[in-house]
Structure 1
Amino acid sequence: MIVKNEERHLSRCLQSVKGIVDEMVIVDTGSTDATKEIAYSFGAKVFDFEWVNDFSAARNYALMQSTCDWNLVLDADEYIVNDCKSIIRHFIETNEGVVGRIKRIDEFNQNGERRYAQSYLSRLLPKGVTYSGRVHEQVDSPFPRKNVNVEVYHDGYVHTNKTERNLNLLLQELKQHPTDDYVLYQVGKQYKLLQQLNMAEKYFEESYRLVPLHAWYRHSLVIDYLYTMTVNRSFEQGLQVIAIEQKRLDDSPDFHFACGLFYMDAIFCHTDRYAHLFPLIERCFIRCLEIGETEKYDRVRGTGSFLAAYNLGVFYEVTGQIEKAVHFYKRAAHEEYEKAVGRLNRLLGK
């Protein structure tokens, strides 16, 4: 781990891994709170590293201090939530020249609602594997990636805002690598978090133009790009992207969910021009439910279940198909989606 002023989260993280790992290596980049004392209390080996505005430099220094053949990399605002000690041991014993990808659940707020996104991250590393990239650093290895059933919860997006810091580091990186599609994407994400959506769209567009078809983050880029174009009302550009991606991402609930919202906004803003898209709204959310909560892509929980069902309920309620609306509200309410419960109660007069 690399840490700085993480006294709020560190105990929770270390408590979750202390029975799993052989040693804890923590590199501190300048804490002024009780972070180091907490680390020592768990028996961790603590090293100081002067911060040089480069996350990979700090990560690689931490990896150098490890005496183990494999390294599990975590951040202080993450913690393991499943019983995975034997799973990790089995993975290590049966794999060589492979990088393990663990599942991370990110809690975030959207429109006043708590949402959860899940993604697989390369975090179980054989000795000798290192990082590159100043910020949003990536594992730099030709080894294949394989998913391992380790589940980590992350609530750092809710409690802290490091967007400005990350953006500054990414812009420095971009000066050195102006056509790096991944860095362009990450810059766009930071502007999106800052609600500077015109800037976000600009960088997403540049990244989309350059990103290889096989890039692991391409799916997420397309989704972020679509949501940004929806808010910016860049409807013609959005329709072009949807047409390009339609077949390739037909098995992605997040793609169809984003398309459904895109069509709704396009029709709302320019009814005459986009009225022909109206039937596609229903089709998109039905397709989400057909696919379900797939593990193939990084995704937001609910796009293949209760969120899509709720939006179908709204669609049918608005179009006067009350029986269908009640059916899909019930489906979403069954998964304890509160907005669906509220709409259902109003429809049923409760």
Structure 2
Amino acid sequence: MISLAMIVRNEEKYLDRCLKSAALSVDEIIVVDTGSTDRTVEIALENGAKVFHFEWIDDFAAARNYSLEHVSGDWVLVLDADQYFPEDFSVAIKEFTKVKTKRAGLIEIISRYEQNGQTMQSIDYMARLFPRGAKFEGRIHEQLTPLMPTVITGLRLLHDGYFQTDKGVRNIPLLLKALEEKPDDAYFNFQLGKQYRGAEEFELAQQYMEKAYELLQGSNPPYGLEMIVELLEIYTIHKEYEKALELAGNESGWLEKSPDFCFSIAQFLLEYAIGTQDFSVIDNIENSYLKCLELGRAGAKEIVIGVSTYLAAYNLAVFYESTGNEAQAKEYYALAASYGYEQAQNKLEATI
């Protein structure tokens, strides 16, 4: 038996979509409401959920653990209301839960967000399918405990709750509380840095990202690469070229593995060339974008969707256009357009 366990509050915009996408995959739906004032509870009941109530105490783990107290399945699927399965994964979920080995299933989560006026998508993996008996810890960005082996399930969720929505109003105070309790927690420092960057509070973003990076020296957690890329991009925004160069040099091993790192290097070098009028790095800019595409062809994983395909191709085309290489610019606009990237298609149509 598989139980879906959720915590919700004022999710009438998303909840029906989420529950309907999971209905065929689970045998029981547990919804814990933390104080909704809209139709959230009604929608949950309409979808056959058992609804419980929990007084919100600024602690996501506490609320999630309360939901886990009410499940009766041997396996638990945890979703947020603003997530949904884009297709029927019921067979895959049931096959995964047939294995008796104690393990947690990692689900790919594709999140849509807005950055610099452009719609972007990122990929993350979270342990959200696991045997009953596990719990969560952490006031926010809660993690599964006890630690158990994780396996990529092949399941995929779409997530759009952060798109054109400012959740920093909720998240930042909780992260600050979490850091009062654990000031040297690298993960909380990293998450707070991300929230401040999203709020365009770049000085605070840099402060917490630098602290996270310092705390992580000698270790390589799953979020380590994302933290390095975020810090490099923050240095680029602040025009802190010396710090960016030092970070890039210290983490140069990622050049052969990560299209996100290569893409950020290219963006930094472009800003550096413009800001310092030092054009000796021009070849490195071109090579960094080309490396993104090479890694993409080799199947390297992305954090931000497109950095190894259409975003790299489009930025390379812009680079070639700015340096007067119209033939190669058109070639890479066409490559970006072949992935369905609308901005590239518009550029091609404008030149015809």
Correspondence 1:230 to 2:202: no
Identify the match of residue 203 of structure 1 among 204, 208, 229: 208
Kindly report the root-mean-square deviation, in angstroms, between the aligned alpha carbons of the 2 structures: 1.4
Identify the match of residue 322 of structure 1 among 321, 326, 349: 326
Identify the match of residue 333 of structure 1 among 337, 341, 345: 337
Match of 1:245 in 2: 251
How far apart are residue 113 of structure 1 and its match? 2.1
Match of 1:35 in 2: 40
How far apart are residue 34 of structure 1 and its match? 1.0
* Most deviating of 152-161 and 28-37: 152-161
Distance 1:329 1:319 in 2: 15
TM-score, normalised to structure 1, is 0.95
* Most deviating of 247-256 and 115-124: 247-256
Identify the match of residue 286 of structure 1 among 266, 290, 300: 290
Correspondence 1:52 to 2:57: yes
Instruction: State the identity %.
Output: 40
- Identify if the C-alpha distance between structure 1 residues 20 and 328 changes in structure 2 by more than 3 Å, giving closer, same or farther: same
Correspondence 1:179 to 2:187: no
Correspondence 1:302 to 2:306: yes
SS of the equivalent of 2:256 reads: coil
Cα displacement string for residues 121-161 of structure 1 (whole angstroms, at most 9, x for unaligned residues): 11111111111110111112221111101111111011532
Distance 1:89 1:107 in 2: 28
Match of 2:3 in 1: none
Distance 1:194 1:110 in 2: 10
- Identify if the C-alpha distance between structure 1 residues 186 and 293 changes in structure 2 by more than 3 Å, giving closer, same or farther: farther
Distance 1:122 1:298 in 2: 18
How far apart are residue 268 of structure 1 and its match? 0.8
Tell me which stretches of 4 or more aligned residues in structure 1 moved more than 4 Å. Answer: 293-298
Identify the match of residue 19 of structure 1 among 20, 24, 29: 24
TM-score, normalised to structure 2, is 0.95
SS of the equivalent of 2:320 reads: helix
Q: Letter of the aligned partner of 2:314 in structure 1?
A: Y
Preserved CA contact (<8 Å) 1:329 1:341? yes
User: Where do 1:74-89 residues align within 5 Å?
Assistant: 74-89=79-94
Q: Across the two proteins, how many residue pairs are aligned to each other? A: 346
Structure 2: give runs of 5+ residues left out of the alignment. 1-5
Distance 2:251 2:301 in 1: 15
Structure 1: give runs of 5+ residues left out of the alignment. none
Distance 1:296 1:95 in 2: 31
Cα displacement string for residues 248-270 of structure 1 (whole angstroms, at most 9, x for unaligned residues): 45211111001100100111111
Preserved CA contact (<8 Å) 2:73 2:132? yes
